Every structure is written in C-alpha cells, then in structure tokens.
Structure 1
Amino acid sequence: MSKGTLSKEIIEHIAKLAKLNLSATQIEKFQPQLASVFGYISKIQTLKTNGVMETSQVTGLENVMRDDMVDEKRMLSQDEALRNAKRTHNGFFVVDAVLKEF
C-alpha cells in the first residue's frame, strides 16, 4: 500500500473500531500517516523468516525478586489504618467508584 491510498471511509472505519471520534481535519491528517504505516507493514510481511527462532525477550535479563518480609515495627492495626479515613464500612475503606459500567 503506497502513501495516500487509504480512503476517508477506511480511516473512519479504523477510527470506529478504535472507538475514536475523529474530525475531518484529523482524518485528512491521518490518511497519509496510516498509509505509510501500512506500507511499512507490507514491507515487513515480505521478509523471509523461515528458520528464524521466535523470541519474546532478547536482552537475557531476568527479574530479580526478593522474599516479602513483614516489618512488624511498621505495621498498623486495622483501627490505626482506618483512623483518618473519610468513610469506612465494616472495617474497610469506602471510596467512590472509579469505573463506569458500559
């Protein structure tokens, strides 16, 4: 796919799939940019990768973990932890919902 070959309708369809509301100016701006991206993807798809091992990580680094250790000097009782809370219920913090239902 070469630059400029994506129609307005294709951009609108991609935006709809991504749940984006794009203005006419944004659609015009993204047409050549997305065409360039798709052109690059087309080039990558022509690479011969037979015999190339799949990789998920190339640095060889590993996560170094430590054991969880409880420092009892820094622990709070439930009452101490809830002492300055604005709202509690049955020994728990009460907070406003941060997610909306769809």
Structure 2
Amino acid sequence: MGNAEAVSLEEVRRVAELANLELTVEEEPRMQRDLNAILGHIAELNQLDTEGVPAMAQVGEMLAGDVQAEATGAALRADMVRPSVDRAAVMASAPETDGRFFKVPKVIER
C-alpha cells in the first residue's frame, strides 16, 4: 500500500471523534497502524481474481423448499405488507411523548 493510501493521524482522530471514542496519545499510532494493516489486507483481497466465482447463497435461498426447515419452523415467512400498530394506542401508553414521537432522556454527552 502506498503512502497516498495510508491513514494519517488526523484521520485516526477524526474517525475516533465520529465513533465517540477517546483515544490516548499512545493509542493513536497503534490505531493508525491497525487501520493501515486492515486497508492493506483489503487491497490484497481486491487483487484476487474472482471471475467465475459464484456469489454466496442467501439464507432465504438456502431455506427455500427445505421440508425439514418448514417442519422445524426454521423457514422464513413470506414478506407481506400488513397493517401496523395504531400510533395513538402506542403513544397513549408511552411514559412521555409529543404525540408523534417518544421522548427519551439524553444519554450521550459531548
């Protein structure tokens, strides 16, 4: 991986800020090294020839038509549009609301 692709300490600090992490001065270079190592591994993976490699199966496809899955209840239900719970009924049982949204105490201080 070239220097142009390397994660700078400023970028480490910005990512830590966005993730609401408090890194010490000693942790920043280690995080920089770890992030650069991860990006290096991804760069290696991007060089692999995946031509002709089939896409991975989705869980729904794996369970489709599986008699044992249906018998054990492991089969997925059909995705159908159904009516939702009445908003007024839900808001009536909420401890605090503005009529449209729940009001909750602030839990993250910045």
Output the TM-score relative to the length of structure 2.
Answer: 0.46
With the length of structure 1 as denominator, give the TM-score of the two structures: 0.49
Mark the structure with the bigger radius of gyration.
Answer: 1
